[in-house]
Structure 1
Amino acid sequence: MTDFLIFLSRFLRLLHFVRGALGALLLLLGVCALALMWAEGLPLGDALYLTAVTGLTIGYGDIAPASPLGRIACVTAGLIGVVFVGLVVAVATRALAQAVKDNSEGR
């Protein structure tokens, strides 16, 4: 359990370091959701859902954009989502490496 807490501590510290980039990416995803809401006439919840499913590259297909602007917003959300997930994975990888190093040094 202590190993996980060490990892979590490192992870949260590194997330704090990149919070500006993560916040900007989330803001851009919010703009994509608003664009989908406007272009497709979706309720806000459905637009946020479609943005999250697209940004995480899940793509259930239960809601799909029909208009050109909606499709552009979805492609943009997908690209932003890939960067967002990549950044979180990079932070987690770095935190894990630091936790293993700290554990091997006996801290």
Structure 2
Amino acid sequence: MKPANTSNIRREFYKAVGYYLRVVWPILSTMLIVIVTCGLIISYLEGWDPFDGIYFGFVTGLTIGYGELVPKLPLSRILAILLGFNGVLLTAIFAAISVRAIEIAVRVTDEDK
């Protein structure tokens, strides 16, 4: 049994990632819109610059949380919690796509042998 060509595995991986991103794009785009919208709402409520709100939305949604922007109002904090849940789901979708793409890439290259 000869070793699989890594360039073939890589090519199949990227093909599968592209396919599954197109499949879940409506979900991903909705989640990104939620992050931006919540960030803008929080920036309005807290009196921040809109860009700071969007930045806060992505930093919170991606569970990075640098801490330089902290919401003070209860509604802003509730929205920040929703951003966190949204970000965890977003990360899970990307992880699932990556794992599925790896499975497909390995299976396709094994079938080519």
For the aligned pair, the TM-score class normalised by the smaller chain equals: over 0.9
Task: Tell me the residue number matched to 2:31.
Answer: 25
Question: What letter is aligned with 1:46?
Answer: D
2-side partners of 1:80 and 1:6: how far apart? Answer: 29
Structure 2 counterpart SS, 1:65: coil
Contact 2:44 2:50 in 1 (8 A): no
Q: CA shift at 1:5, angstroms?
A: 2.0
Give the Cα–Cα distance (whole angstroms) in 1 for the partners of residues 101 and 83 of structure 2. 27
Aligned-partner residue type, residue 8 of structure 2: T
* Residue number among 11, 23, 34 corresponding to 1:5 in the alignment: 11
2:105 maps to which of 93, 99, 106: 99
Q: CA RMSD for the aligned pairs?
A: 1.2
Query: 2:53, 2:8 → 1: CA distance?
Result: 40
TM-score, normalised via structure 1 length: 0.93
Task: Provide the rounded CA distance (Å) in 2 between the counterparts of 1:89 and 1:11.
Answer: 11
- Tell me, which stretches of 5 or more residues in structure 2 are unaligned? 1-6
Provide the residue aligned with 1:82 in structure 2. Answer: 88
Give CA-to-partner distance per residue, 1:42-77, whole Å, 9 cap, x none.
112111111111111111111111111211111111
Distance 1:75 1:100 in 2: 38
1:53 is matched with 59
- Aligned residue-pair number: 107
Query: After TM superposition, which residue ranges in structure 1, 4 or more long, deviate above 2 angstroms?
Result: none
Q: Residue 2 of structure 1: CA displacement? A: 3.3
Question: Normalized against structure 2, the TM-score is what?
Answer: 0.88
Which structure has the greater CA radius of gyration?
2
